[in-house]
Amino acid sequence: MSTLRMFRKKPDDPGFFGKLGFYFLLILGALVSIFPFYWMFVVGTNDKGAVFHVPPLLTIGDQFFENFKRVLDKSDFFQALGNSLFVSSMVTISVVFFCTLAGYAFAKYEFPGKNMLFVFVIATLIVPQQLGVLPTYVIMAKLHWIDSFKALIVPAMVNAFGIFWMRQYISSAVPTELIEAGRIDGGGHFRIFWRIAVPVITPAMATLGILNFMTVWNDFFWPLVVLKNKEHFTIQIALQQLFTTRDGLDYGMIMSATFTATLPLLVVFLLFSRWVIAGLTSGAIKS
Amino acid sequence: MAEPVITSPHAESKRPFFTEQRRSRFTAYTFISPFFILFSIFGLYPIFFTFYLSFFKWDALGPMKYVGFKNFELITTDPTFWISFSNTLIMGLMGTVPQVMLALLLAVLLHSGMTRFKKTFRILYFMPNITSIVAVTLVFSTLFGNNGMINWLLNGIGLESMAFNSGWWGVKIAISTMVMWRWTGYNAILFLSGLQSIPMDLYESAKIDGANRRQQLFFITLPLLKPFIIFVSLQSTIGALQLFTEPYVFLGQSGTGSTRQEGITMVTYLYSEAFRNGFFGTAAATAVLLFLVTILFSVLNMLISRGGGRQTGGKKA
């Protein structure tokens, strides 16, 4: 686009100032989006008083390790991080495996009740999580799973969204002829799934995995309900615990912890952002 | 779809119970069974049990005592429940309506042909969503502090400071802002993918017919985006009704938990009834009411979006 054309107004063209307004709004939106991340870091690297400095402090300080040391005194930060990593990984591996299997069956097999069962799967998406929370808690208590990772992992091992999302992808990405050819060659059902389907649909599995990992990593309500002991806390609960400290709020400490806890996910997201966003948009709404 | 393939060399000779068709059906059921097994135990059964439980007095330990509709009576005569109910609706409205509109605006801006760095913007807008709500709430509670940045900005433009962490409106504004910050970009990305699915030649032919930008927006973009608008507002409504973490963490700073009236929501009410007070019956009744409200609002949402679509759409696409 030449500069000359930017100034010549066509009936359809918003013109130079229109364009300026466009970019102004877009950049403003982007700044609002990322400012809290920066702010987290600013507070986390400055001393205690920095949060309520007037005018607001916007420069990065050098107190990060001091602040973070207090985090380690007050909480089992790295243990909590490890717990989150463990729970999220277990859930994600399981979700990806079982949802892919189920999605594959719904996409490529014929069996009585298939449509009805699939509609049922979709319908479960609408039911709010809180509706079943109390009895689920009681079940966990009966199983003696309260305060154990099993309570977090087992109920989440497969979910409706994942099945839906994998089915959509598999229907279009895996040619039925390929599967039939595999059958004719005498391959077992699981073997065909593993050797023929899975390699083709790895991108979809990766997207599902990342989306799921983020959801589990960020979950707060259910871990809050079932986890009792400090050593089992996930990172979200550990962060919240720092915030409830009675002896005055030490924001430098809180933010150094929050930032450190956010960083891994941020890095993963930035590395895989294309997949995440593509997954989100194609998985969310499709006929 | 997988036609029964009966070409396996062993099929004829063995004449087994497992014919090829039976085997493939069996496999399919096996593949989908993990979901149905887990969902029956940790989804379906608890849902029915919640309805059952709402008619009993129970502390989750001792024997259950049938009380009929007493639980519903108890919570509907509890002023705190109604505060939590109205808080949920007020914050839901404050957090959802402007958010969806803002998301739509951002998506339209991003979609317009002249936007460069589209991918970068998408990533930046999506970033708030990957942060945990706990982290978001912690960050915003410093921004909304009495001497925090937001009040500093308010003073800067000549307004008075607001008690964002204790005032009736202050708390609601703070919490809905957190919700908006987290979800606007996410919804904008959804809208954007909707916009990208609209065929360009529709706009071309509209231009030939002399439609200007506004007309294109109202007669092509919005009507064709309707499924996305319905989906996003439905999802946001359901999410808003389940608001929990933001008020819980934001108001939990005194160590007393978050049953503070300025920000108590239906789910916080449910949580404190069950896990703080040990009243599982009334908590179950709250869950049932929450479910009914969710259905009510989902239906309402559908009706509004449908009606709204017809008005702006003019002709059916």
- Is B193 in Cβ contact with A135 (below 8 Å)? no
The pLDDT value recorded for residue B133 is 93
Looking at the predicted structure, is the pLDDT value of residue B306 above 80?
Answer: no
- Is residue B193 within 8 angstroms of chain A, CB to CB? yes
- B314 falls in which pLDDT band (50, 70, 90)? very low
**Confidence at A237, pLDDT banded by 50, 70, 90:** very high
**pLDDT above 90: percentage of residues in chain A:** 59
The pLDDT value recorded for residue A162 is 93
pLDDT band, residue A247 (cuts 50/70/90): low
Residue contact A111–B134, C-beta within 8 A: no
Best A33, A42, A93 member to test B by mutation, with max B CBs in 10 Å, is A33
Mean pLDDT, residues B157-178: 92
Kindly state the average pLDDT of the residues B279-300: 93
Q: Which residues of A touch B274 (CB under 8 A)?
A: 133-134, 137
**Contact call for residues B162 and B170 (beta carbons, < 8 A):** yes
Alpha-carbon distance of A218 to A196, in angstroms, equals 34
CB-based contacts of A174, cutoff 8 Å, min separation 6: A104, A107, A108, A196, A197, A200, A201
Q: Which amino acid is at B242?
A: Q
- pLDDT, tens digit, for every residue of A134-185? 999 999 999 999 999 999 999 999 999 999 999 999 998 899 988 888 888 8
Q: What ipTM was estimated for this complex?
A: 0.86
**Residue B305 has which token pair?**
């979006």
Residue in chain A closest to B53 (alpha carbons) equals A135
* Residue A194 touches partner B, C-beta closer than 8 Å: no
Residues 224-283, chain A: which have Cβ within 8 Å of B? 224-225, 235-236, 239-240, 243-244, 246, 249, 251, 254-255, 258, 261-262, 265-266, 269-270, 273-274, 276-277, 280-282
CA angle A282/A223/A157 to nearest 5° reads 50
> How many A/B residue pairs have CB atoms within 8 Å?
296
Q: Please tell me if residue A41 touches chain B, with a CB cutoff of 8 Å.
A: no
Q: What is the mean pLDDT of residues A183-206?
A: 90
Quickly state the pLDDT bin for A4 (edges 50, 70, 90): very low
Instruction: Check CB contact under 8 Å for B31 and A244.
Output: no
Buried/exposed code over A45-84 (b: 16+ C-beta within 10 A; e: otherwise): bbbbebbbbeebbeeebebbeebbebbeebbbbeebbebb
Residues 110-169 of chain B whose Cβ lies under 8 A from any Cβ of chain A: 110, 112, 114-115, 119, 121-128, 130-136, 138-143, 145-149, 152
Best of B3, B42, B266 to substitute, by most chain A Cβ atoms within 10 angstroms, is B42
**Mean pLDDT on B237-265:** 80
Residues of B in contact with A246 (CB under 8 A): 255
**Is residue B313 predicted with pLDDT exceeding 50?**
no
Find all residues with CB under 8 Å of B297, minimum gap 6, and list them: B237, B238, B241
Of A51, A218, A277, nearest to B126 by CB-CB distance is: A277
Q: Do the beta carbons of residue A37 and residue B128 sit within 8 Å?
A: no
Asked if residue B174 lies in contact with residue B140, where contact means CB atoms within 8 angstroms, the answer is yes
Inform me whether the pLDDT recorded for B255 exceeds 50. Answer: no
Of the pLDDT bands very low, low, confident and very high (cuts 50, 70, 90), residue B317 is: very low
Pick B201 or A53 by higher pLDDT.
B201
The mean pLDDT of A10-37, rounded to a whole number, is: 82
For residues B55 and B67, give the distance between their C-alpha atoms in angstroms, rounded to a whole number: 6
- What is the per-residue pLDDT for B253? 54
Average of pLDDT values for A28-51? 91
Interchain proximity A243–B274, CB inside 8 Å:
no
Tokens of B221: 């973009």
Examine the pLDDT at B96 and tell me if it is beyond 90: yes
- The answer to whether B6 contacts chain A (CB < 8 Å) is no
What value does the mean pLDDT of chain B take? 86
Q: With bands split at pLDDT 50, 70 and 90, how would you rate the model's confidence at B309?
A: very low
Taking only the tens place, the pLDDT of each residue in A57-116 is 888 888 899 999 999 988 899 999 999 999 999 999 999 999 999 999 999 999 999 999
Nearest residue of chain B to residue A187 (CA atoms): B8
Asked which of A4-13, A234-243, B106-115, B174-183 is least confident by mean pLDDT, the reply is A4-13
Structure-derived torsion over alpha carbons of residues B199, B201, B204, B209, reported in degrees to the nearest 10: -100
What confidence score (pLDDT) does residue A125 get? 83
CA A81, A82, A85, A88 dihedral sign is: negative
Residue B260 contacts A, CB cutoff 8 Å: no
Give how far Cα B212 sits from Cα of A107, B216, B219, Å. 44, 6, 10
Higher pLDDT, B24 or B85: B85
Give the residue ranges of DSSP H helices in chain B: 10-14, 20-39, 45-53, 70-76, 79-111, 118-130, 133-143, 149-156, 168-196, 200-208, 213-216, 222-241, 245-250, 266-271, 280-313
Q: Which residues of B touch A159 (CB under 8 A)?
A: 35
- pLDDT score of B4: 52
What's the confidence (pLDDT) of residue A126? 77
Query: Has residue B6 got a pLDDT over 60?
Result: no
Nearest by CB to residue B25, choosing from A55, A111, A129, is: A111
- B215–chain A Cβ distance below 8 A for any pair: no
pLDDT confidence band for A47 (50 / 70 / 90): confident
Higher pLDDT, B29 or A21: B29
**Closest partner CB to A220 (pick from B32, B245, B253):** B245
Beta strand B56-57 pairing with B65-66: antiparallel
Ranges A109-118, A213-222, B17-26, B234-243: which has the least confidence = B17-26
CB–CB of A265 and B249 under 8 A?
A: no
What confidence score (pLDDT) does residue A9 get? 45
Q: What is the pLDDT of residue A50?
A: 80
Q: Which spans in chain A are helix H?
A: 3-7, 15-44, 64-74, 77-108, 114-123, 133-142, 149-153, 160-173, 176-184, 189-192, 198-218, 221-226, 235-243, 251-284
Chain A hits for B25, CB-CB cut-off 8 Å, are: 109-112
User: Contact at 8 Å (CB) between A37 and A262?
Assistant: yes
Q: How many CA atoms are closer than 13 Å to the CA of B125, on its beta-carbon side?
A: 30
Closest residue to A22, CB basis, from B27, B112, B148: B112
Percent of chain B with pLDDT over 70: 88
Question: A87 near A149, Cβ under 8 Å?
Answer: yes
Asked if B286 and B273 count as a contact pair (C-beta separation under 8 A), the reply is yes
Torsion of CA B48, B51, B55, B61, to 10 degrees: 60
Q: Is B122 exposed, middle or buried (0-12, 13-18, 19+ CB in 10 A)?
A: buried
> Which structure tokens are listed for A210?
């990342």
Give strand pairing partners of B126: none
Contact call for residues B193 and B108 (beta carbons, < 8 A):
no
pLDDT at A8 over 90: no
Rounded percentage of chain A residues whose pLDDT exceeds 70: 92
**B132 vs A56: CB contact, 8 Å cut-off?**
no
DSSP-based three-state secondary structure for B181? helix
pLDDT band at B288 (very low <50, low <70, confident <90, very high): very high
